[in-house]
Amino acid sequence: MLKLSCPDVVALADVRVWVRSRSWAAALTSAGVALMLTSCGASSAAPAVAELPSRATTGLGAAKTPAVEPGGARAPVSRVTATIPLGSSSQGVAVDGSTHTAYVTDTLRQIVSAIDTRSNLVTATFTVGKDPAGVAVDGHTAYVLNSRDSTMSVIDTQSNTVTQSYGGVDPVSVAVDGFVHAAYVTNRGEGTVSVVDTQSLSVTATITVGMSPEGVAVDGSTHTAYVTNRDAGTVSVINTLSNAVTATITVGRSPRGVTVDGSTHTAYVANWEGTVSVIDTLSNAVTATITVGGWTEDVALDVAANAAYVANSQDNTVSVIDTRSNLVTATITVGRAPCGVAVDSTTGTVYVANGGDGSMSVLTAG
């Protein structure tokens, strides 16, 4: 029996087969099947930056004034207002509301695209390593994990320069705690998390977690990191002051993305089986399991809208969860095989990286 996992998609006529193994990818490629690979590796070539001409967009673009619900809360998103073509295989996405910029990794072209979220135009691309996957932004720096050559590309978003660092095995996700100048990197190939000093770009600690760690989120207020272990079906809880694993929580099958709300002491875990596990971070207990779409990949929070957004790669949808009731209140169709999702906390706009068609969907309220 073939064990299916994500987020690498193979398209053949109307059939989509999801594979992670490079040996499977090689076999399918030799058989003439077109692959859209998403998380494997990096390049030793010097990074480069290229300015792009404006690209066509559709729809209305990001909302300039967030919709407001009765009582003052921001309304959750409800529709796609733009679809931005980016290339071949969009994977991870991060957004910097202070600079009105979204960053999207493209695993086939080995680039990161910078998109102006006011105009929905691509303003620059950055050449990074092989198979760039996860991306995070902190201040004027973007951190990109290149899974196949086990590097991290560090982009200075002011000077548009790229440097390479790091040396983990198959790194796929990164979360940054800017207060302590640390990046936390999941190494899927060796079951560890690397702690990287964001000033010196040196690895200061390596923490053993579960099998095939995928997603990572940090709650800076409690000095805690949460790491999903794909092949163990667990979440490792790490004290970031001591770099010790303090708890292991059983969640759904094949957990991927994770996000945490420090104000409510709640973490949300996207499980590949099509569920979201809700964790009380005070007790480290799962308090709810929410059914969403198929092949759930990633989850992001908008605290101001009391909403969690979940990317369902099989269904080509995003599920909207009311975090007060833990109910799915809407399901929004996006591009093919959505892999990553991010929220602009200043506007409430949601950005979705679609791995199956190389686009980014822009979702707004009302």
Distance CA 313, CA 332 (A): 12
Which has the closest alpha carbon to 328: 280, 258, 276, 363? 276
Which has the closest alpha carbon to 292: 314, 278, 276, 281? 276
56: helix, coil or strand? coil
Distance CA 332, CA 335 (A): 10
Q: Which residues, including other chains, have CB under 8 Å from residue 32's CB and lie 6 or more apart?
A: none
Would you write out the chain's pLDDT as a tens digit for each of its 366 residues? Answer: 333 334 333 332 232 223 333 333 333 333 333 333 333 333 333 333 333 333 322 222 223 344 656 555 799 999 999 999 998 899 999 999 999 999 999 999 999 999 999 999 999 999 999 999 999 999 899 999 999 999 999 999 999 999 988 778 999 999 999 889 999 999 999 999 999 999 999 999 999 999 999 999 999 999 999 999 999 999 999 999 999 999 999 999 999 999 999 999 999 999 999 999 999 999 999 999 999 999 999 999 999 999 999 999 999 999 999 999 999 999 999 999 999 999 999 999 999 999 999 999 999 997
**How much is the pLDDT for 283?**
98
Distance CA 247, CA 225 (A): 11
Q: What domains does the chain contain, in order, with CATH numbers?
A: 41-56+99-335 (2.130.10.10)
Q: Which residues, including other chains, have CB under 8 Å from residue 61's CB and lie 6 or more apart?
A: 81, 82, 118, 119, 120, 362
